[in-house]
């Protein structure tokens, strides 16, 4: 499919039916697979024969969607997971174990912060956060001989900061480490981190990739570009894996070493498996990803510009606005648009923000973003409600902050809804 443009690949990559086969990708709803000989099955266990063995590890429907996403991101292989959280865990844990540490941008999804700073700490893995104001020297001062990777989010949820992928890739590579990028909000339609030096990409496919609030899922994609052998820091990839009869991932799987290990070791042992039906539903979403992202960006840009001019709004944060501190980064990494999420403050503080939310008719209050339907959340009264106003400000979540996920409806209807709700909030 290399010859096709990316928006064509959204529809045509992965499942390519031959003569007489179903036009739409079938759901292979089976946990297991029949073989004619024990020898063939033995070969599967040795990773020397091709084929599926057990759906916890791989499945034909899942594999077809993995192939599509690998092509969209420009990687050598991908692995779907049961959630975005599972993808973040596996992406790091595949190369970073107890007694080791990794560097993460501090501006990332709150759930990932919990996973990295609380749960992975209990696994003996330490995260070291790099704040946006740090110099290169200050970031490199966080690195020691036990550091194993760098991590950041292309467009951070909910801060909407734009990650300087090239800068972090160069810092990471300078000390012989790979860069992992969470590309959830951008999707490969708006940014392909491998083109800027990232080595591994992951997504919560629950967001724009699915796009219809239908199915929770995640994915990890391997660029195949990182040299795991150089520097000797990754023996789990370059030395025999006893749990697979001494397979050496770099020797036996070449460029696909990382993603093969993630599947045959982590997926086998952790079982964070996507269901075939989930893969099917995700594939339906991917079919229309290109057109949806175009519309999300166009609508969000229009709404951000409208809000910025509205006297009832105290501030607007959207990387597509020249007033955004990340505007220059957005121009570089997101030339096709800045995705669909905007945050803004309603004049009148927490009370006015809540009144605004409650007055919306089209935009739905949900704990979700990146859906085809416009949705909205007031973090101060929901996800962050246990914090005082002072603590909220420290966390970058002001009491008046509204997170607005712009959908693909007609923009005039979304604007009219915002307008009437702002009138009630300020009335």
Footprint of ligand PLP (CB under 6 A): 83-85, 88, 109, 111-112, 153, 157, 182, 184, 204, 206-207, 216, 218
Other CB atoms within 10 Å distance of the CB of residue 282: 28
In angstroms, give the least distance from the CB of 85 to ligand PLP.
Answer: 4
Residue with tokens 């800045």: 338
In angstroms, give the least distance from the CB of 61 to ligand PLP.
Answer: 19
Q: Which is nearer to ligand PLP, 85 or 223 (CB)?
A: 85
Burial of residue 126, with CB atoms counted within 10 A of its CB: 0-12 exposed, 13-18 middle, 19 or more buried: middle
Q: Which is nearer to ligand PLP, 245 or 368 (CB)?
A: 368
In contact, 334 and 190? CB cutoff 8 Å: yes
CB-closest chain residue to ligand PLP: 84
Q: Which is nearer to ligand PLP, 205 or 324 (CB)?
A: 205
Q: Which is nearer to ligand PLP, 153 or 326 (CB)?
A: 153
Q: Which is nearer to ligand PLP, 107 or 260 (CB)?
A: 107
In angstroms, give the least distance from the CB of 157 to ligand PLP.
Answer: 4
Q: Which is nearer to ligand PLP, 86 or 303 (CB)?
A: 86
In angstroms, give the least distance from the CB of 419 to ligand PLP.
Answer: 28
Nearest CA-CA partner of 209 in 279, 281, 285: 285
Q: Which is nearer to ligand PLP, 58 or 157 (CB)?
A: 157
Cα dist from 137 to 58, 134, 140, 350, whole Å: 43, 8, 5, 39
Residue with tokens 């105290």: 314
In angstroms, give the least distance from the CB of 138 to ligand PLP.
Answer: 25
In angstroms, give the least distance from the CB of 278 to ligand PLP.
Answer: 11
Structure tokens at 228: 């795991």
What gap in Å lies between CA 102 and CA 323, rounded to an integer? 33
Nearest CA-CA partner of 337 in 281, 408, 400: 408
| DSSP one-letter code for 229 | S
Cα dist from 393 to 265, 363, 380, whole Å: 42, 25, 10
- State the sign of the Cα–Cα–Cα–Cα dihedral 83, 86, 91, 94: negative
In contact, 117 and 128? CB cutoff 8 Å: no
In angstroms, give the least distance from the CB of 269 to ligand PLP.
Answer: 19
């Amino acid at each position: 499919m290399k010859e096709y443009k990316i928006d064509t690949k959204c529809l045509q990559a992965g499942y390519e039916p031959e003569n007489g086969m179903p036009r739409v990708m079938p759901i292979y709803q089976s946990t297991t697979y029949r073989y004619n000989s024990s020898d063939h099955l033995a070969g599967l266990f040795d990773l020397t024969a091709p084929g599926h063995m057990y759906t916890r590890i791989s499945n034909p429907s899942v594999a077809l969607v993995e192939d599509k996403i690998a092509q969209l991101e420009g990687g050598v292989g991908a692995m779907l997971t049961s959630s975005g959280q599972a993808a973040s865990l596996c992406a790091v844990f595949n190369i970073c174990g107890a007694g080791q540490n990794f560097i993460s941008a501090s501006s990332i999804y709150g759930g990932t912060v919990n996973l990295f700073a609380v749960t992975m700490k209990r696994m003996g893995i330490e995260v070291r956060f790099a704040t946006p104001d740090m110099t290169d020297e200050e970031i490199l001062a966080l690195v020691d001989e036990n550091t194993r990777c760098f991590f950041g989010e292309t467009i951070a949820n909910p801060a909407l900061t734009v990650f300087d992928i090239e800068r972090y890739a160069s810092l990471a590579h300078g000390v012989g480490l790979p860069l992992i990028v969470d590309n959830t909000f951008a999707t490969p339609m708006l940014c392909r981190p491998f083109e800027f030096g990232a080595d591994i990409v992951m997504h919560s496919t629950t967001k724009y990739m699915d796009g219809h609030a239908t199915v929770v899922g995640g994915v990890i994609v391997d660029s195949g570009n990182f040299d795991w052998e150089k520097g000797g820091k990754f023996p789990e990839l370059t030395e025999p894996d006893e749990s697979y009869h001494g397979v050496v991932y770099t020797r036996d799987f070449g460029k696909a070493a990382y993603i093969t290990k993630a599947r045959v070791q982590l997926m086998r042992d952790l079982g964070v498996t996507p269901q075939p039906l989930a893969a099917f539903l995700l594939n339906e979403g991917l079919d229309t990803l290109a057109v949806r992202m175009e519309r999300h960006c166009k609508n969000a840009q229009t709404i951000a510009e409208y809000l910025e001019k509205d006297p009832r709004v105290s501030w607007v944060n959207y990387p597509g606005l020249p007033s955004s501190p990340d505007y220059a980064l957005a121009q570089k990494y997101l030339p096709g648009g800045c995705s669909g999420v905007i945050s803004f403050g309603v004049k009148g503080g927490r009370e006015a923000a809540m009144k605004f939310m409650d007055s919306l008719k089209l935009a739905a209050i949900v704990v979700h973003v990146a859906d085809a339907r416009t949705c909205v959340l007031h973090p101060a009264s929901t996800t962050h409600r246990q914090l005082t106003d002072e603590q909220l400000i420290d966390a970058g979540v002001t009491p008046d902050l509204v997170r607005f996920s712009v959908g693909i409806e007609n923009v005039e209807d979304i604007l009219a809804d915002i307008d009437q709700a702002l009138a009630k909030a300020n009335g």
